[in-house]
Amino acid sequence: MPNRLAAETSPYLRQHADNPVDWYPWGEEAFEAARQRDVPILLSVGYSACHWCHVMAHESFEDDGIAAVMNSLFVNVKVDREERPDVDAIYMQAVQALSGRGGWPMTVFLAPDGRPFYGGTYFPATDHQGSPGFVRVMESIADVWDNKRSEVNEQADKLREMIEHNIAATHNSGESNAFLDVAVLDEACLALRSQFDVVNGGFGRAPKFPPAMAIDFLLRSHVQRGVPESLEMVTTTLDAMAAGGIYDHVGGGFARYSTDGVWLVPHFEKMLYDQALLVGAYLNAYLVTNTPRYKRIVEETIEYVLRDMRHSDGGFYSAEDADSEGIEGKFYLWSLKEVRDICGESAQEVIRYLGITAPGNFRDPHTGYSGNILNVVDRNEAPPEAVRDALPLLAAYRATRVRPGLDDKVLLAWNAMFTSSLASAAAAFDRKDWMEAARVNARFCCSALRREDGRFLRSWQSESGARHLAYAEDYAALLECLITLVEVDDVSWLVTAHEVADALMDLFHDSEGAGFFTTGSDAEALIVRPQDFFDNAMPSENSLAANGLLRLAAISGNAAYRETAEAILRLLSPLVSQHANGFGYLLRAYQRAVAPSVEIALIGSSQELRAEVFSRLLPSAVIVSAQPGSDEDLTPLLAGRGLVNGEPAAYVCENHACKMPVTSATELRAALNATAKN
């Protein structure tokens, strides 16, 4: 019989519904059971696209004998880290403190009150290469719990205090009255430069994650302040990633990270948030450099998401697995014979261009399955015509293979981030179909993921609906998305943007310090109330909020939004320049805060004027798009603004000092070029 996970919204949890493990979802029922039995909780955290999560599931959670040990000694709780980032963040700190590293699957042992006292990541089923087997670990934990309870409690108290201290340490790093100094941006550029791989791009050593947020910061630095080294770091990295195996040359989209330093061998799962961030980075790079390759990457990645990652109601799915048929990367690998048979006369050019060999360049260490990961041998070479003609043939053949598993839950923050990039690309390329997809998704997020009382929810799945209260990152990402739609679509989105911003302030703001808590004031109490300040694979809730509130303040004229955002920047300013790669998205807000603001109002329907604005990167600008005479009460940027001699017009202001309105693209170009920091 299926266990308690069968009714969950998370496909990852439902993957474990038929395990012999007596799993509980996170909740009071599990903690009460642990108290009644006087046993620890075994907390297992992962996500659906996680390769090693699948390995541990097959080795241990599907094994009757191991499951019997788990059921006998513990109350077992399974958590999807993507649905419960609050739980994941708290206990990941404990695991990192205990083991010196983190990752997923994450296995943590908790007292029945939720305090952690031991943990790790992947445990092999049996002793392996010096690592204790999972059963031996569990029996040792149970013995300590039964016979050394005082030591367990002491360890649990220390770990909880450590987690609380980490949050307090960040709060003590800044000064509430500190001056926001442009020198921080120079120091951040230098810090990134010191870590830059001048040959292969990216920052630091393998494994390499796509540094989309740092790339975007460097692009904006180049535009605002003319730093040539910034553009070099951008183009080297984007070119290397676009050529490497981390990019899907057949179907579009990026894998989560590269296991090597040259972007060749990825961990093959594809995450929606990566597509969102990388579409934004490549789009802005195209706007700055006019490099055709970057436009192609944007187009192919967007088409991948719209084709393979979209629900019919408009929501975007979370991820695709690395594995298919139990083999990592099998869906993406090619043999030399396959390519020759499929591509016909074009085969030799495809083989040369994409680096295909008889032995291949990848071998699954678990199964021995091997093949070729497609990659562009000469990263500066554009696809020859023969390759362009052959790629649809390869795509059609690949479509007959067994696809990787799909995580079909819809997460609010990830959807908002992708829709923001999608709408920006739609405006830049005048793609009305993309803009409509962005509108549909935004409306979906504001309906399917919102309760009748207005409270937003984190996760939706077509069979089980929406569940779990949304977090600060959900509200802040949605705020950014709605402001982007205000800019590139219609100012009427501002009504919902204000509702989201005000709820963000009411539910999540730290009234005694600065910044935002991860969980709302109406959420369940955990052992600590977490706060996330660092930009990791995704922007933190505080970085998203700082950006969104600064943009909303500039559009609405509400100084309170700006003051809240600047408090975050002052808090984190001492850390930003030292750890630039950990604050890539926050640096975007810092740039906006210290630069003169540019305000642009587009009145009426003029594709010529829109193209002039949206075909360039404007780091410190805010834009409103409206029809004449409509919605003037929504923003002071529209007050008294109308058509000029019956023609659509653009109004350009700098620090709220406005130039004369213009009606032609030539005049608008001159006005934008004249702004000190556009």
* pLDDT at residue 51, as a whole number: 84
What whole-number distance in Å separates Cα of residue 587 and Cα of residue 581?
10
* Cβ-proximal residues to 169 (8 Å cutoff; 6+ apart), any chain: none
Q: What angle do CA 631, 632, 636 make, to 5 degrees?
A: 130
Under DSSP, is residue 571 helix (H, G, I), strand (E, B) or coil?
helix
- 26: Cβ–Cβ under 8 A, 6 or more apart, which residues? 77, 79, 84, 87
Q: Taking 70 as the threshold, does the pLDDT of residue 175 lie above it?
A: no
Residue 677 pLDDT > 80: no
Place of tokens 């012999």: 20
The confidence score (pLDDT) of residue 304 equals 98
Mean pLDDT of 7-27: 94
Q: How confident is the model at residue 127 (pLDDT cuts 50, 70, 90)?
A: confident
In the predicted model, what is the mean pLDDT of residues 544-561? 96
Q: What is the DSSP letter of 314?
A: S
CA-derived radius of gyration, the chain: 26
What pLDDT, on the 0 to 100 scale, is given for residue 109?
98
First to last CA, the chain: 62
Catalogue the E-assigned strands of 114-174.
116-120
Instruction: Give 3-state DSSP helix, strand, coil % of the chain, rounded to 5.
Output: 50, 15, 35
Beta-strand pair 621-626/598-603? parallel
For residue 655, pLDDT over 90 is answered with no
- Of 52 and 193, more confident: 193
Residues 6+ apart with CB under 8 A from 161: none
User: What single DSSP character describes residue 407?
Assistant: E
Q: How confident is the model at residue 678 (pLDDT cuts 50, 70, 90)?
A: very low
- Residue 80 phi, psi dihedral angles, 5° rounding: -90, 115
For range 226-255, the mean pLDDT: 95
CA distances from 199 to 91, 203, 211, 380 (A): 37, 11, 15, 13
Q: Is 498 helix (H, G, I), strand (E, B) or coil?
A: helix
Which residue is it, tokens 């207005």? 454
Contact between 118 and 141 under an 8 Å Cβ cutoff? The reply is: yes
Q: Is the pLDDT of residue 1 over 80?
A: no
* 237: its two tokens: 């990295």
The reply to whether omega before 20 is within 30° of 0 (cis) is no
One-letter amino acid at 277 equals L
Q: What is the mean pLDDT of residues 242-256?
A: 98
- C-beta of residue 389 within 8 angstroms of C-beta of residue 342: no
Calpha distance 493→482 (Å, rounded): 6
Q: Is the peptide bond before 384 cis (omega within 30 degrees of 0)?
A: no
Residues 6+ apart with CB under 8 A from 221: 185, 189, 227, 230, 591
Nearest to 550 by CA among 499, 468, 479: 479
- Please provide the size of the chain in residues: 678
- Given its phi and psi angles, is residue 401 left (phi above 0), alpha (psi -120 to 50 degrees) or beta? beta
**Rounded distance, CA 88 to CA 163, Å?**
13
C-alpha to C-alpha distance for 515 and 521, rounded to whole angstroms? 14
Q: How confident is the model at residue 358 (pLDDT cuts 50, 70, 90)?
A: very high
Q: How confident is the model at residue 506 (pLDDT cuts 50, 70, 90)?
A: very high
Q: CB–CB of 371/355 below 8 Å?
A: no
Element (H, E) at 660: none
Mean pLDDT of 514-526: 95
The tens digit of pLDDT for each residue in 304-352 reads 999 999 999 999 999 999 989 988 899 999 999 999 999 999 999 999 9
Cα dihedral 444, 450, 451, 452, rounded to 10, equals -70
Res 176: pLDDT = 60
- Cα(392)–Cα(403) distance, rounded to whole angstroms? 17
Query: What is the bridge-based pairing of β-strands 75-80 and 41-46?
Result: parallel
Task: Return the H-helix or E-strand segment holding 371.
Answer: strand 370-371
The structure tokens listed for 490 are 């219609």
Cα gap 549→554, rounded to integer Å: 9
Whether the Cβ atoms of residue 433 and residue 308 lie closer than 8 Å to each other: no
Phi/psi of residue 438, each to 5°?
Answer: -65, -45
Rounded to an integer, the average pLDDT of 474-488 is: 98
Q: Is the pLDDT of residue 179 over 90?
A: no
Percent of the chain past pLDDT 90, that is, above it, reads 84
Residue 202 to residue 214: CA distance in whole angstroms: 9
Q: Give mean pLDDT, residues 88-113.
A: 93
Write the pLDDT tens digit of every residue in 565-599.
Answer: 999 999 999 899 888 989 999 999 999 999 988 99
451-465 pLDDT tens trace: 999 999 999 999 889
Q: 528 versus 326: which is more confidently predicted?
A: 528
Q: Where are the alpha helices (DSSP H) in 290-362?
A: 292-308, 336-343, 347-353
The pLDDT, as a whole number, for residue 9 is 86
pLDDT tens-digit readout, 58-87? 999 999 999 999 999 999 999 999 999 999
- In this prediction, residues 77-101 reach a mean pLDDT of 94
Quick check: 398 and 251 in contact, CB under 8 A?
Answer: yes
pLDDT given for residue 203 in this prediction: 95
The mean of the pLDDT values for the chain is 94
In order of their start, the domains of the chain are 4-171 (3.40.30.10), 183-322+407-594 (1.50.10.10), 324-403 (no CATH), 598-674 (no CATH)
Q: 603 - beta bridge partners? A: 626, 649
CB 219 within 8 A of CB 288: yes
